[in-house]
Structure 1
């Protein structure tokens, strides 16, 4: 699963939050289906070159959000998205995911960090709620 997860140590976003966000996004778009076993904490930490405690914190927050479950013999397993977090119809539309990927790529090409990209998105979401 390493291929879908990366950590930018220069980002203002803490590494555990980057991991948590990426895994929850992979679950939301269906790339990580219910029952999928996540890498062990030590394995993912080693692959990413970060401390095991960082991955452990991300996994703990994913479990608290109800997205994963830790089982003694099976490790950490994806439970899936809570039903109230899913859009009508189940999974997130692939075109929407592609648009978000383009947004991220364009922002990074422009030299924006993750925090700035998130801020822009939050502002735009707030404006759309106001009907602007």
Structure 2
């Protein structure tokens, strides 16, 4: 995840984190089914205390932006549109499956573009 915390901002760090995740979901950068880092991993990545990240995650969970699936981890939740959410989750699974096979992101994009051209 691309998160940039500004220590000089008047906005609290947990709120900066929360708002940036929401914006990434709105922009489509993070889609339904995307696994996000653990609290500890993200805290290290962005230089925040784990409790700060946990607070942001709690609020995001309460807002329905993320969901925790026990030992599986924390994921971007599906939104209000079940068709869009299903499509986003299918795309996420597709990318994950191809990455497991060692296919590069560039090749994956090429496959999708070819499939779109072939479906016309």
SS in 1 for 2:8: coil
Pairwise CA distance, 1:51: 0.2
Matches within 5 A, 1:83-94: 83=81
Query: Of 42, 61, 64, which residue of structure 2 is paired with 1:63?
Result: 61
Alignment partner, residue 112 of structure 1 = none
Alignment RMSD, CA only? 1.1
Matches within 5 A, 1:1-132: 1=1, 4-83=2-81
Alignment partner, residue 88 of structure 2 = none
Pairwise CA distance, 1:81: 3.5
SS in 1 for 2:74: strand
TM value normalised by structure 1? 0.58
Paired residue total: 81
- In structure 1, stretches of 5+ residues that fail to align are 84-132
TM value normalised by structure 2? 0.64
Is the alpha carbon distance of 1:80 and 1:25 closer, same or farther for their aligned partners in structure 2, counting shifts above 3 Å? Answer: farther
